[in-house]
Amino acid sequence: RKEVEQDPGPFNVPEGATVAFNCTYSNSASQSFFWYRQDCRKEPKLLMSVYSSGNEDGRFTAQLNRASQYISLLIRDSKLSDSATYLCVVNIGYGGATNKLIFGTGTLLAVQP
């Protein structure tokens, strides 16, 4: 089983739609959680951290369920510029010699005009 699993998509949605991505992780010792965005042939960039209480940044809302080891990202009012691959990311370890980000394979979003 992969450490971080995501639906690869693609998700094809019209502009203005609401779209949700889900992710599960296998390591219960995971400490921190993130969504990264990766544009085609570019490096990943941090979109937002994910907190247990849930958090929102403009049109983006992230949720974490530690009991179910489940993370979600909701994008409201999709824009063409939201088209990208969204990577679910988990931080394994905190301090010491092991402290690394484990990436899901990503979910491809294509927002159509």
Partner 1 sequence: GAGVSQSPSNKVTEKGKDVELRCDPISGHTALYWYRQRLGQGLEFLIYFQGNSAPDKSGLPSDRFSAERTGESVSTLTIQRTQQEDSAVYLCASRPREGAFGYTFGSGTRLTVV
Query: Which tokens hold the place of 77?
Result: 């009012």
Residues 4-33 that bind partner 1 (CB under 8 A): 32
Out of 29, 58, 97, 113, the only residue in the binding site for partner 1 (CB under 8 A) is 97
Q: Which residue, 53 or 98, has its beta carbon nearer to partner 1?
A: 98
Instruction: Name the one residue in this structure whose structure tokens are 């939201």.
Output: 82
Q: Is 78 exposed, middle or buried (0-12, 13-18, 19+ CB in 10 A)?
A: buried
Distance CA 52, CA 4 (A): 18
Q: Which residue, 3 or 76, has its beta carbon nearer to partner 1?
A: 3
| Contact residues: partner 1, CB under 8 A | 32, 34, 42-46, 49, 87, 91, 94-106
